[in-house]
Amino acid sequence: MELSQTVRNKIDEARAKYPPEENRAPLIFALHAAQDEYRWLDEPTLEAIADYLDLEPIKVYEAATFYDMFNRSPVGQHNVKVCTNLSCMLCGSDEITDHLRGKLGIDIGETTEDGRFTLTEVECLGACGGAPVIWIGKDYYEDITPQRVDEILASLD
């Protein structure tokens, strides 16, 4: 497994932010770059990152398993993440989660058979003024209602 040129460029860009001898520091950026490209991080990808940064593979596994954003198993094309923490719960995230379950026909942690959607429960996204909040790709969607959920899902390719 060799990392794509895009991923390597992004890692190089991150590397320039830290002293040259600190080759572990760009690791979180590297994991993000690889996940942007491959959607989830399998072992060959983690080993390729370790190889590229000249790190022992365990250091890459440590970061990839500690931080929640990194997918260690396959996910759908759109990972629909619902915040259910306190402010969202107070503002109706139960209803949103139930609606998504029904609409997608899957439970939290599952992926639709066509591989389009994964449903994930997440902790506070730091956007509680717009609770309830869902997060898909790079976008937050705030003040969500079941109807808005339908519109958002329909707008995704």
Partner 1 sequence: MPEYPKDYTLVTLNGTDRADSNTLQAYRDNGGYTAVEKVLKGGLTRDDVISEVKRSGLRGRGGAGFPTGLKWSFMPPADGDQPKYLACNADEAEPGTFKDRDIMRYNPHQLIEGMIIGGYAIDATVGYVYIRGEFWEPYARVQAAIEEAYEAGLLGKDILGSGIDFDLHTHRGGGAYIAGEETAMLESIEGKKAMPRFKPPFPANYGIFGRPTTVNNVETLASVPPIINNGGEWFQSLGTPESGGTKIYAISGHVERPGNYEVPMGTPFAELLELAGGVRNGNQLKAVIPGGPSVPMVPGDVMMDSNLDYESLAQAGTMLGAGSVIVMDETTCIVRAVERVAKFFFHESCGQCTPCREGSGWLYRIVQRIERGEGRMEDLDTLLDIGSRIEGRTICAFGDAEVAPVSSSIKHFRDEYEYHITHKRCMVPAGGRIAEAG
Point out which residues bind partner 1 (CB under 8 A).
17, 19, 22, 24-29, 31-32, 59, 62-63, 66-70, 84-87, 89-91, 122-131, 135, 138-140
Q: Decide if 134 contacts 96 (C-beta within 8 A).
A: yes
Give the nearer residue to partner 1 in terms of CB position, either 3 or 113. Answer: 3
Give the nearer residue to partner 1 in terms of CB position, either 5 or 20. Answer: 20
Q: Which of 152, 37, 146, 38 is nearest to 102 (CA)?
A: 146
Q: Minimum distance from CB of 27 to partner 1 (Å)?
A: 4
Q: Decide if 31 contacts 50 (C-beta within 8 A).
A: no
Give the nearer residue to partner 1 in terms of CB position, either 24 or 116. Answer: 24
Q: Minimum distance from CB of 25 to partner 1 (Å)?
A: 5
Question: CA-CA distance, 96 to 92, in Å (whole number)?
Answer: 7
Q: Minimum distance from CB of 113 to partner 1 (Å)?
A: 27
Q: Minimum distance from CB of 80 to partner 1 (Å)?
A: 14
Give the nearer residue to partner 1 in terms of CB position, either 91 or 106. Answer: 91
Give the nearer residue to partner 1 in terms of CB position, either 26 or 114. Answer: 26
CA angle 70-103-116, nearest 5°? 45
Question: What are the residues whose beta carbons fall under 8 Å from the beta carbon of 154, sequence distance 6 or more?
Answer: none
Q: Minimum distance from CB of 114 to partner 1 (Å)?
A: 26
Cis ω on the peptide bond leading into residue 19 (within 30° of 0)?
no
Question: CA-CA distance, 35 to 49, in Å (whole number)?
Answer: 11
